[in-house]
């Protein structure tokens, strides 16, 4: 079954291959720096983001000019991950402000899985601020297509709905396991211990490769009524969450592959880009 989609090794859906160089579990806690430190950190982030944006734009121009795909994909992936790592006091203030004026979800049924390089996979995803019957309808529709495509997790941007919401069920079957809906989730703590695991994604048909992720995370989120809660996730469930959470930041699983692993699937990625409908914008 796929995890929005991680595809476990056949016959052993929860066996993780532990990285040999990583051992003891410890926690890295997200701290709240003082205003001065936060301002300095923010200035550095803005500077780095500007440089990354310039490099990405330049590389993307080369992609369209000469058809070279290796560098643009890698640069774009690094830029997306860097953007997803923003933090500190100022980021928290911006987040709180966005929650106050959060959006009402809008979508069209039936939903369909968007395949790479569809732009919805790289678009910004809005914070949800209206918790109504439409939000519940979206969650139900996401579970429906997740089960139909044999997934165990699904993020809203994967169905072309750019809001910060995900659903998952480790069992991958209706009536079994526990259905989880997370609205506006965020990671507040993660383990330093990591595991390698072969992942796949329905947005990347028939592409499977090893991705390293922390084995445990603590998260905060809201339910369909807007109530905030916390969860501690371990093992396969932690990986399911992190894969889907990346989608909410516009980060795709190949962005987290090592250069060697990425090189092994480069041909398949190029094939998906070539198969993208003519005239439609690409979110490489």
User: Do 140 and 154 touch, CB atoms closer than 8 A?
Assistant: no
Q: Within its chain, how far is the Cα of 218 from the centroid?
A: 16
- Among candidate residues 170, 199, 237, 244, the one labeled active-site is 244
Active site residue 244: yes
Q: DSSP string covering the chain, please?
A: -BSSS--PPTT-TT--EE-TT--S--EEEPP---HHHHHHHHHHHHHHHHHHHHHHHHHHHHHHHH---HHHHHHHHHHHHHHHT--SHHHHHHHHHHHHTPBPP---SSP-PPPTTBGGGTS--BPB---SHHHHHHHHHHHHHHHHTTBSEEEGGGGT--BSEEEE-TT-STTSS--EEEEEEEEEEEES-EEEEEEEETTEEEEEEEEEEESEEEEEEE-TT--EEEEEEEHHHHHHHHHHHHHHTT--GGGGS-HHHHHHTHHHHHHHHHHSPTTS-B--
State yes or no: cis peptide before 128, omega within 30 of 0.
no
Catalytic residue annotation = 244
């Amino acid at each position: 079954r796929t995890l929005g989609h991680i595809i476990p090794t056949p016959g052993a859906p929860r066996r993780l291959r532990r990285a040999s160089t990583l051992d003891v579990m410890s926690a890295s806690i997200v701290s709240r720096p003082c205003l001065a430190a936060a301002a300095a950190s923010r200035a550095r982030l803005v500077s780095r983001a500007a440089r990354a944006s310039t490099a990405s734009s330049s590389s993307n121009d080369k992609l369209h000019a000469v058809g070279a795909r290796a560098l643009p994909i890698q640069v774009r992936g690094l830029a997306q991950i860097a953007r997803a790592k923003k933090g500190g006091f100022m980021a928290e203030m911006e987040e709180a402000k966005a929650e106050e004026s959060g959006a009402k979800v809008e979508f069209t049924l039936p939903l369909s899985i968007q395949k790479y390089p569809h732009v919805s996979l790289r678009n910004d995803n809005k914070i949800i601020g209206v918790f109504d019957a439409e939000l519940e309808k979206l969650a139900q529709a996401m579970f429906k297509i997740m089960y139909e495509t044999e997934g165990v997790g699904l993020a809203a941007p994967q169905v072309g709905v750019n809001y910060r919401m995900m659903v998952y069920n480790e069992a991958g079957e209706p009536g079994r396991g526990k259905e989880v809906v997370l609205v506006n989730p965020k990671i507040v703590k993660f383990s330093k211990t990591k595991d390698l695991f072969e992942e796949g994604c329905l947005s990347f048909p028939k592409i499977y490769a090893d991705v390293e992720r922390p084995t445990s995370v603590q998260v905060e989120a809201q339910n369909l009524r807007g109530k905030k809660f916390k969860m501690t996730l371990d093992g396969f469930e932690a990986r399911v969450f992190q894969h889907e959470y990346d989608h909410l930041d516009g980060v795709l699983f190949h962005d987290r592959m090592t250069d060697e692993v990425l090189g092994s699937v480069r041909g398949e990625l190029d094939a998906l880009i070539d198969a993208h409908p003519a005239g439609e914008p690409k979110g490489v």
